[in-house]
Amino acid sequence: MRPVLVFDLGGSWWRVGLFTDERQVHLIRREPAVNRSSADRPVPVLQQELVDFVLRHTRAYLRERALLRVGISLGAAMNGQTGRVLASAPMWGPELAPFDLLAVLRDELPGLAWGVLNDVSALAVALRARMPAGGRKAAAVTVSSGIAYRTIDLRTGHIPLDPEHGLQGEIGHLPVDFVMEGRRVEAQCECGASGHLAAFSSGRGIEELLGVLPEAAWLRAGSDAPAGPVAAFGVAVRRGDPRALRLLDAFTRPLSRILLAQTTLDPEVGHTVLSGGVVDGLEGHYLSSLLRNLMADGLYGISHADPHYFRRRFAVGSPDGLDPLRGAGLHVAGLSSPPAQERLDRQGLTS
């Protein structure tokens, strides 16, 4: 198999890599994303910037060597049945701005096989590729500029989607309660709604809260403050400062309760793997905080009798942080599952 050019286009970073026949990813480039925070431009202009980024790097690669396939992991809500991009609050804000990225790319470079999938679906595909045989279902969770969740059938590679709208697991836009020291806190999600999970537990949500919470004032005024409260928070968490760990527990609690509900509703999900910039940046402290909250609430009839239940079922993702690129490569190369390959064929994505 020739190497596959792969992209991971998220709300914070855009990355380019090569996916090889050894199922490895070699990172070529990483740069800040062009989004509504970094560039005050209309959404169609921001979308065109994304298209131009993909085309520019694909054409540059084609000038050097042959290429058949390009896979894209996209940090946006997508209709997984049609491939149509619906919206991305971290990249484009509250506006619903659907566009057909796949059709645009195929029109520009029709000689290539293009594959586009949601970034959390890409995580799920990569997760399945390294899961041991015998499991039924697994779930991928990303905690970065946004938050989302995907289940995948480990036997078939099938990612269940709403049959009409093609979505699954947009948990970042579920309403939650955020309580700090007995006080209910309100915050606005980047999608424009108030009280969504992403407003409190995503990277952007945490950044906003660290800037205003009285309990985080010491981070804004401390010796690490010139680097900003987010950097100071990371340093304090890694050195085990109890004030920072209390903040971290508050940030992970809304997510832990959604995951607890999902564990109750679908016990066949034997592994839930967390990835993304927030998880990677806080290392094992993030998972420890999530597990503390899961155990504090408990799973009725199970966790009291089996105190290691959550620890067996929840883990962090690949330490290299490249699973979105890896999943995009597996997807477009037709290695993710027979059903995925059938979808690629129907959409004319394979050569």
The residue among 76, 110, 111 whose CA lies nearest residue 90 is: 76
In whole numbers, what is the pLDDT of the chain averaged over residues? 91
Same fold, 4-123+321-346 and 170-267+277-316: yes
Query: What CATH number matches the domain at 4-123+321-346, 3.40.50.1010, 3.30.420.40, 3.30.300.30, 3.40.50.720?
Result: 3.30.420.40
Residue 348 scores a pLDDT above 80: no
Give CA separation, 344 vs 54, 81, 155, 269, 350, in Å. Answer: 20, 11, 19, 26, 6
| Contact predicate 329/4, CB 8 Å | yes
Query: CA–CA separation, 61 vs 285, rounded Å?
Result: 39
pLDDT of residue 223: 58
Query: CA–CA separation, 122 vs 180, rounded Å?
Result: 34
Choose the weakest-confidence range: 34-43, 78-87, 163-172, 189-198: 34-43
Residues composing the chain = 351
CA 317, 320, 323, 326 torsion-angle sign: negative
**Banded pLDDT at 342 (limits 50, 70, 90):** very low
- pLDDT tens readout for residues 23-49: 899 999 999 999 988 878 899 999 999
What 3-state class would DSSP assign to 150?
strand
pLDDT of residue 351: 24
Name the percent of the chain lying above pLDDT 70. 93
Give CA separation, 165 vs 1, 20, 47, 175, 340, in Å. Answer: 34, 33, 21, 20, 18
Residue range 170-267+277-316 in CATH 3.40.190.100: no
Give CA separation, 37 vs 32, 41, 307, in Å. Answer: 11, 9, 43
Domain boundaries, the chain: 4-123+321-346, 170-267+277-316
Choose the weakest-confidence range: 156-170, 202-216, 243-257, 330-344: 330-344
Residue 302 scores a pLDDT above 70: yes
Residue 310 scores a pLDDT above 50: yes
Average pLDDT of the segment spanning 84-105: 92
- pLDDT tens readout for residues 259-292: 999 999 999 999 999 999 999 999 899 999 999 9
Residue 350 scores a pLDDT above 60: no
pLDDT of residue 227: 67
Query: CA–CA separation, 184 vs 132, rounded Å?
Result: 42
Q: Which residue has the tokens 């993710």?
A: 336
Which amino acid would we find at residue 281?
Answer: G
pLDDT of residue 95: 84
pLDDT of residue 56: 98
Average pLDDT of the segment spanning 156-173: 95
Query: CA–CA separation, 111 vs 74, rounded Å?
Result: 21
| Kind of pairing between the strands at 69-74 and 25-32 | unpaired
pLDDT of residue 334: 86
Higher confidence at residue 319 or residue 338? 319
DSSP symbols for 164-197: TT-----GGGSB---EETTEE---B-TTS-BSBT
The residue among 109, 279, 271 whose CA lies nearest residue 203 is: 279
Average pLDDT of the segment spanning 68-94: 93
Residues 6+ apart with CB under 8 A from 272: 138, 139, 140, 141, 259, 263, 313, 314, 315
Say if pTM beats, i.e. exceeds, 0.75. Answer: yes
